[in-house]
Amino acid sequence: MNASTPGVWLCLASALFLLTTQGCAVSKTNSSVERFANEVVNSTRRANTTQDLKTESYLTASKTFEMETAVSIALDNNPNLTSIRRGIAAALEKYPQVTAFDDPMVGVGFFPSTVGPDRGDFAYKIDLKQRIPYPGKLRLKGEKTIAEATAALSDFGSAQVKLASLVKSAYLELFFTHRAIEINEENKKLLQEFKTITEVRYSAGKGNLQDVTQADLDLAKAEHRDIVFERKLKVAKSRLNTLMGCPAGFPLPAPARLPFMLPLPDKEILLKKALDENPSIKAARFKIKARDLSLKLAHAQSYPDFTLTGSYNRAWSKDELRPFIGISINIPLRSARLRAERNIAEIKLAQANSDLTAKENDIRFEVENAWQRLKEFHHSKKIFSEVIIPQTELNLKAARAGYRNGGNDFLTLVTAEQTRVNTKLKYERVLVDLRIMEARLLKAVGVNK
């Protein structure tokens, strides 16, 4: 081994140290990052193709299905959630990028005047360089990335809450359309009975032709409503299918029932829960954290970065002068650029705080509006079930009896029947709207169940 060998080994050792340091910087992922990655996997797991096929098979084989089933299917299969899932995964992948050192630089050169058989010893130079950011910069970048990814995860939760609310509304509209069709079928049967009565009375000389004509006209209107409801039924099915990630024309079974009606909740408790747990509020708070870290990082840009240098220069005649180790720093003199970067970070932090305030105000309004509407529908349900529905039934019963014995005309009977039909439809609408308001209230709170 000649005298130059230790210098070469020193340079190789320096290169190995720099590469190992960089590898550690890339692979070093703290426990909080690992926990977050597991949370992302668990929170955004998507059903596979096999599950999709099972979903379609289940719906095809069932005569009815529950609202909770529709929500569950949508949360697993809705394609609009896929892009958000991938966005979160992409945000998480930024962590090893922003926390890693730059690639080391390796340079090799020689001195042309030493090349040739009569030129003496061949002289060359090996350079190794590694840029190392000022302590704390990479940590800030990593924390900022995690905060942004956590905000994206909360946005995903918010999207789930919104989707669940939309699915509930679509399911309830589908239920109402089925009930409207059933009520119209009852109405047609009753109108057919009225028509028979008018024909019998007219044949017996106790009625007139106008009553028969009116009965035919009312029956034709009821039959036309079948066409209208059929169109609404197909639209409602298509809407729900789309939300569940199924083809628009997929043959859905009928909704099983209305969900159990909840008692009117305490508004103040709901509001506090909403401001604490709504995913959109959580996302806004993590965005503030990310903007705050951006501001700290902007201030840290004023601190210099380091560059470690190792070289071996064969041109030096003395062996002890050939190895070289040094360090250099950059000098952040561009004060205008650094000041602008800090100003931008401060503005974005203030913007994020304003966004949180606006979101909190929106949540307060949503809770207040949904709660007041829910209170109104609870009262409407009580009035309809205890007063209006029983009175319309009695009115129709009296009108039928009066028409049979000649106490009133056919118009009074038909009016009583139409009032009964419209009242039943309004009552069903109240029952559905009450559940829709419950869903909107849960959405404001941040619940996707």
Q: How far apart are the C-alpha atoms of 305 and 296, rounded to whole Å?
A: 16
Are 21 and 101 in contact, with CB atoms under 8 Å apart?
A: yes
How many domains is the chain partitioned into structurally?
1
Nearest 5°: the CA angle 182, 184, 190 is 110
pLDDT at 38: 63
Q: Bridge partners of 108?
A: 126
In the block, tokens 């009450």 appear at 434
Amino acid in the structure at residue 432: V
CA distance 290 to 98: 14
Beta-ladder partners of 370? none
Residue 244: burial class (beta carbons within 10 Å; 0-12, 13-18, 19+):
buried
Nearest to 323 by CA among 89, 14, 2: 14
What secondary structure does DSSP assign to 195-226, as a single string?
HHHHHHHHHTTSS-HHHHHHHHHHHHHHHHHH
How far apart, in whole angstroms, are the C-alpha atoms of residue 212 and residue 334? Answer: 94
- Give the H/E segment covering residue 263: none
User: Using CA atoms, how far apart are residues 125 and 110, in angstroms rounded to an integer?
Assistant: 6
- Using a CB cutoff of 8 Å and minimum separation of 24, what contacts does 5-12 make? 6/319, 6/323, 7/312, 7/319, 7/322, 7/323, 8/126, 8/312, 10/310, 10/312, 10/323, 11/126, 11/128, 11/310, 11/311, 11/312, 11/323
d(CA 128, CA 107): 6
Place of tokens 């205890």: 386
> Is 252:234 a contact under the CB 8 Å cutoff?
no
pLDDT value of position 402: 87
The H or E element containing residue 246 is none
Q: Whose CA is closest to 252, among 265, 234, 269?
A: 234
DSSP notation for 358-372: HHHHHHHHHHHHHHH
Cα dist from 344 to 23, 279, 401, whole Å: 33, 27, 81
Distance CA 377, CA 117 (A): 102
> What range does the domain containing 215 cover?
5-445
Of 265, 231, 199, 320, give the one whose Cα is nearest residue 434.
265
Predicted pLDDT of residue 234 = 95
**DSSP assignment of 88-153:** HHHHHHHHHHHTSPPPPEEEEEE-GGG-STTS-S--EEEEEEEEEPPTTHHHHHHHHHHHHHHHHH
Q: Which two tokens stand for residue 315?
A: 């041109």
Q: 127: which strand partners?
A: 107, 311
CB 247 within 8 A of CB 237: no
- Local confidence pLDDT in tens for the 449 residues of the chain: 344 455 555 555 554 454 444 444 444 445 656 666 666 656 555 444 445 546 777 787 888 899 999 999 999 888 888 888 888 888 888 888 888 898 999 999 988 877 777 666 788 899 999 999 999 999 999 999 889 888 988 889 999 999 999 999 999 999 999 999 999 999 999 889 888 888 887 887 777 888 888 888 989 999 999 999 999 999 999 999 999 988 998 989 999 989 888 889 999 999 999 999 899 999 999 999 999 999 999 999 889 899 999 999 888 878 888 899 999 988 887 788 889 999 999 999 999 999 999 999 999 999 999 999 999 999 999 999 999 999 999 999 999 888 878 788 888 888 898 999 999 999 999 999 999 999 999 999 998 77
- Reading the block at residue 44, the tokens are 């955004």
Residues 448, 71 contacting (CB under 8 angstroms): yes
The residue written with tokens 């103040």 in the block is: 268
Q: Which CATH number is 355's domain given?
A: 1.20.1600.10
Convert 385-399 to b/e letters by CB count within 10 Å (16 or more is b): eeebbeebeebbeeb
